Chains A and B, each alone.
Chain A
Amino acid sequence: MLALAGCFIAASALAAGTLEDVKPAGEDRFRFSAVVETEGAYGIARDRANKLEFLIDPQLEYRFSEDTRFTAIARLYAEGFDHLEPGQPGQREIASNSRRVLLGDRTDMELRELYLSTQLGKAHLTLGKQQVVWGKADGLKLLDVINPQNFREFILDNFDDSRIPLWTVNAELSLGKSNLQFLWIPDRTYHLLPESGATFAFTSPLVVPQAPPGVAVDLRPIERPKNILTDSDVGMRLSTFWHGWDLTFNYFYHYADFPVFFQSLSLAPSGAVVTVSPRYERNHLFGGSFSNAFGDLTVRGEVVYNTDRFLLTRNRPDSGGVTKSGEMSYVLGLDWFGIRDSLVSFQLFQSWLLNPTSDIVRDTSDTTTSLLTRRHFLNETLEAEVLWLRNINEGDGLVRPKVSYELRDNMKVWLGFDLFHGTRNGLFGQFAQNDRLVTGMEIGF
């Protein structure tokens, strides 16, 4: 992190020395804003309160010039029932300098983002803790893997809230109609997974190894990458606008954010024990994205090849209960704007394992679809939408009807449902008992 701080200071000095662009007036130099949000959820199936959260996101910007600014975003988060992250989460997946400050079981504070953004000739630098988002897909992630995610509400939380910002050197070079981006991420922070007992703790055999009946499980601490240089992530993206097409070509060398659960079976005096040793594994991601508009229709998509996907198997002794395979994935999205003030959006996600073994838990190919219909009323003050995500292989899914209304200039309220269906084997079906009614309010200052 010291290296990143050095870059940060050097860029500040360099930017300050090249401020030939327009300087904002004194009152425009500082910008302070804040968003206050409260959301409650009531578990329908379990007939109990699911969550009652309250958060404040203050944001401060200081503008050295129109091209150079410093941004800091903090968060105070409180949750009344302590069901999403019971007790004080260990945060073992998070690098020590990126962890939240826990103020008891139900309240925490977090430095969400802290970065300097500046233009140096044709280069644009963003240095510090930030979110970097790749890709064109909604809801499910193929290219949007730069930042890990907090899964305390599975994928129900707003991605902007659930994404975990990382300390990153983000350099972009303008090449006329194209843009070349380089990322260096020394921050070794990974997905934050709900611990056992949390409302949205994972139980599906697709992602959690299942111990045979009567066999004890010894879950070891996650083995984290240690070296700030050799274990950092690096990425590159070339984006261009070509004959109406928005195109990107992406490469990311990284630790996959889900730990791999290596397992070994041993015999103890008390009986058989499965020792689970989670650790993070490297992956090369090669991919690209595209989008274009044709009349009322926009077409968008992503294609990704992951060299090293680690997947759970049914037989564990030889291979540690996992197998490695390459994986090809794509998402194709169609957005139709043919009815005024309305959007109908369909997405097809598919992935194939290139070197599957016969005993893997998941299917060799996997298909998920999404359908979103949204309509605005009353000059976009009222919005109604329904999102339906469905996994074809497992036959499970998630339906999310929602209505939101802008009560005042800076105040929005909403009411919706999160309705899961399917068996506990599926990623969605595992939460079939977590259907909930959600209501919330957001105020901006």
Chain B
Amino acid sequence: MQPKMRHTLIALFLLFPLFASIAAAEALPAGDEIARRINARNEGEAVSRHVTMSMTDRGGTERVRETKGFRKYFGKEKRIVIFYLSPANIKDTAFLTYDYPEADRDDDQWLYIPAARKVRRISASDRGDYFLGTDFTYEDIRKETKVGIEDYAWKTLGEETIDGHRCFLVEQIPVNDNTANELGYGKVQSWVDAEIWMVRQAKFWDVAGNPLKTSQFKDIKPIQDIWTAHQLISENHKTGHKTVFTFKDVDYGRNVKDEMFTEDALRRGF
């Protein structure tokens, strides 16, 4: 073998791992693409479900709320309503949100407070506020299993296995400080199922870079051909507080009436 060819082969041999890793990286979908695939996933035009919200503090004291929730798309606009059924002292509390597709338009939110028997308009701009004592933010509640593509710069970090499922690990960095402050997150890492494009796990850091919380999407199975997580767990690492949402009676085929998503419906209760 001629020395020149030998040197070329040695160089190729040494560079092979680099080429291989680049090739492997290129095989992974880009972060933006993963986000788009998450949001393109069919979640039905409307759904009704019973949700048990369990909240446990660091000392082990548990609070449980039974709720009935409905979601419906009006074109690209998503409306969600949640009625609290128990315990008796917060029964009839209800929350309504209109999630608009336009990125520059604030969502609209209302809260019915049974003690006042009044529907209050509430600000939707501080998306990082925690929803009625849970470890999920108002933004989490509005987005459900979707993501805010425009809020983050998306980057695919690799592949990992979660609960036996192949997942893409994606890093999300808020596009600017204002968005980070609104969301309450400085960084998010999400593990997205490579088959069904659902987030199975997400880790959150606060705006100062400290670990904030971990969320898990469990018991994922198809209901009426739509992949549905039946358990959402979120654990706050700062407070030790943990929230578990357990879904049952999920029904995508039900006729959810438009009138359900109004101030008057909040007032009447469920």
Contacts and interface: CB of A to CB of B under 8 A. Distances in A.
Nearest to A33: B88
B264 interface: yes
The SS class assigned to the A binding surface is strand
A246 B254 contact: no
Interface stretch (B129-137, B141-149, B156-164, B217-225): B129-137
Contact of B263 (A246, A297, A381, A442): A246
A335 B87 CA distance: 28
Contacts of B126: 296, 337-338, 340
The SS class assigned to the B binding surface is loop
A444 B121 contact: no
Contacts of B124: 293
B211 interface: no
B135 A298 contact: no
A174 B85 CA distance: 25
B123 interface: yes
B63 interface: yes
Interface stretch (B20-28, B32-40, B107-115): B107-115
B123 A337 contact: yes
Interface residues of A, number: 53
Given A133-B117, A138-B116, A380-B133, A410 B109 contact: no
Contacts of A22: 254
Contacts of B89: 35, 410, 412, 442-444
A299 to B, nearest CB: 8
A381 B119 CA distance: 22
A31 B133 CA distance: 25
Interface in A294-352: 295-298, 300, 335, 337-338, 340-341
A22 B119 CA distance: 26
Contacts of B106: 293, 295
A297 B123 contact: yes
Contacts of A27: none
Contact of A172 (B63, B85, B125, B264): B264
Contact of B129 (A117, A341, A444): A341
Contacts of B262: 174, 179, 241
Contacts of B8: none
A291 B133 contact: no
Given A296-B126, A379-B133, A444-B87, A117 B268 contact: yes
A292 interface: yes
Contacts of B176: none
Interface string A366-382: 00000000001011110
A136 B123 contact: no
A379 B239 contact: yes
Nearest to B55: A379
B196 interface: no
A117 B267 CA distance: 12
Interface string B47-67: 000000001010001111000
A264 interface: no
Contact of A293 (B85, B122, B263): B122
Interface of B: 55, 57, 61-64, 85-91, 106, 108-110, 114-126, 128-130, 132-135, 184, 239, 241, 254, 259, 262-264, 267-268, 270
11 contacts: A35-B89, A133-B116, A291-B121, A292-B121, A293-B106, A293-B123, A293-B125, A379-B134, A408-B61, A444-B88, A445-B87
The 10 closest A-B pairs by CB, nearest first: A444-B88, A444-B89, A380-B133, A33-B88, A410-B87, A337-B123, A133-B117, A291-B121, A444-B87, A409-B63
